[in-house]
Amino acid sequence: MSNCAIDHTQPEVVEKLAEQKSFMPEELVKSCELYLSKSLSQESLNEVFHLLKKYDLATEKERVDRDYKMQQLFV
C-alpha cells in the first residue's frame, strides 16, 4: 500500500470500512469491525485505511493480498 502523509482518524477508518464492506468477505468485515472498536495507534489506523481505500476497484489478486495483510493485523 502506498504511504501518505495524511493521518486518518478512527471515525474516518470506520467510515471507509462502511463504504467497502459490501465488497469484502463477511468474516473479514467482522474482524475489522472488532479491531476498529479498540484504541489503535495512528500507524495502525493509517494502514487499515489504505488497505480499505479503493478496495472495490482492486483486482482479485490485490484483494487477496489486502485480505491477508488485514488478517495479519487483526490477530
Q: What is the pLDDT of residue 43?
A: 96
What the block records as the C-alpha cell of 37 is 472498536
- AA letter at 63: R
Residue 27: which H helix or E strand, with range? helix 26-36
pLDDT digits (tens, 9 = 90+) for 3-51: 667 999 999 999 999 999 999 999 999 999 999 999 999 999 999 999 9
User: Cα(34)–Cα(47) distance, rounded to whole angstroms?
Assistant: 16
What the block records as the C-alpha cell of 57 is 476497484
User: Cα(52)–Cα(37) distance, rounded to whole angstroms?
Assistant: 16
User: Cα(24)–Cα(42) distance, rounded to whole angstroms?
Assistant: 23
Domain boundaries, the chain: 10-14+25-74
Query: Binning pLDDT at 50, 70 and 90, where does residue 1 land?
Result: very low
